[in-house]
Structure 1
Amino acid sequence: MTERIVVVGAALLDGGRLLAARRSAPPDLAGRWELPGGKVEAGETPEAALVRELREELGVETEALERIPGEWPLRPPYVLQVWTARLRPGSGDPKPLQDHDELRWLTAPEVWDVPWLDQDVPAVREASARLDARAR
C-alpha cells in the first residue's frame, strides 16, 4: 500500500460566511471552486499545514479550529481532510495569490451558488451545516 498524503482544506468561517476559492490551475480544475488549502509537508501537523497554506495562498493569518469528521479521496495517494478555521485578529483580507483567480465569501443560502470541485462537496456540506448552526 502506498503512503497516503494528506491535503488539508480550510472551511474558513467569518461572520457567518464561508470562503470559496476558484481554481485557475491546473486546466482540468480551472473555473471550479474549492476550500483553500494544500499538502501537509513531512514533519508538519495538519493544523500547521493549514495555517501555512492559507498564509501562502491567501496572505492571511488564521487559526485552525476543529477537524470536520471524515476524509475524502483525491487523486491517489492524496486524501482530503478539512478543518474549520478563522481569521486571526489583525489579519488582512484574503487575496488570491496562488492557483486561484477569485475568492468569494458565501453566506449559508449562497453556499451552493458556485460549482464546487466534486471532492470538496461532502466537506462543504459539513461546513455549511456549521454555518447554518451559527446563523441561527
Structure 2
Amino acid sequence: MPRKRSVALAAWGEEGLLLVLRPQDDPEFPGAWGLPAVSLQGEETLEEAALRVAREKLGAEVAEAGPIAFGVEERPGYTLELWVYEGKLLGRPRLPEPKPGKTYYAAFRFGRPEELKAAARQGSLCSRLFLAVKGLCP
C-alpha cells in the first residue's frame, strides 16, 4: 500500500491556537475545524514541510516549530504517516488563492485545543495526536 507522509502544524498566535475549516467538498473531513497540514514533497524534510504549511496554506511564517507527536494510520488506499509540529505564528494569517490538486481551507480562526475534539471524533489523526499530547483525549 502506498505511503503518504504529512506534517500538521499546531500554530499558536496571540489569540490562541490557529484552527482551519476544511471545505465542504473535502473527501475526508468535510466541514471540520482542524490543524493545517501538507504532504511532504520529494526530498523535503519534516522541518521544511512544517514551515511550508504556514507559508503555503496560511500566508504566514512560523517560528520555533518542533515535533510533538507522530502517528501511523491505515486509510483507504494508503498508509498515512503523520507528524504534528507545534510553533509560534508570526504575523496575521490569510487564506491564499486555492491551487488545483491541493486542499485549501474555507476559513480560519483562533481557538482552544479542545475545539479539535469534533474533528478527532470524525477520524482526524492530527487532531487525535495533538489532543493526546496535551492530555485532552477526545
* TM interval, short-chain normalised: 0.7 to 0.9
Give the secondary-structure state (helix, strand or coil) at the position aligned to 1:12: strand
Listed as ranges, the matches of 1:57-72 within 5 Å are: 57-72=57-72
In structure 2, what is the equivalent of residue 134 of structure 1?
none
In structure 1, what is the equivalent of residue 129 of structure 2?
123
Query: RMSD between aligned alpha carbons?
Result: 2.6
1:23 and 2:29 aligned: no
8 Å Cα contact 1:21/1:100 also seen in 2: yes
1:89-108 CA-to-partner distances (Å, cap 9, x unmatched) read xx3x1123342111121135
Gaps of 5+ in 1: 131-136
How many residue pairs are counted as aligned between the two chains? 124
Listed as ranges, the matches of 1:93-132 within 5 Å are: 93-97=92-96, 98=98, 99-107=104-112, 111-112=114-115, 115-116=118-119, 117-118=122-123, 119-126=125-132, 128-129=134-135
| 1:107–1:40 CA distance, 2 compared to 1 (3 A) | same
Give the secondary-structure state (helix, strand or coil) at the position aligned to 1:21: strand
Identical residues among aligned pairs (%): 23
1:82 and 2:84 aligned: yes
Task: Give the CA deviation at 1:19.
Answer: 1.0
The structure where helix makes up a greater share of residues is 1
Matched AA of 1:57: K
Q: TM-score, normalised by structure 2?
A: 0.73
Q: In the aligned structure 1, how far is the partner of 2:68 from the partner of 2:60?
A: 21
Q: In the aligned structure 2, how far is the partner of 1:32 from the partner of 1:54?
A: 19
Q: In the aligned structure 2, how far is the partner of 1:49 from the partner of 1:8?
A: 6
8 Å Cα contact 2:70/2:81 also seen in 1: no
Gaps of 5+ in 2: 99-103
Task: Give the CA deviation at 1:86.
Answer: 1.3
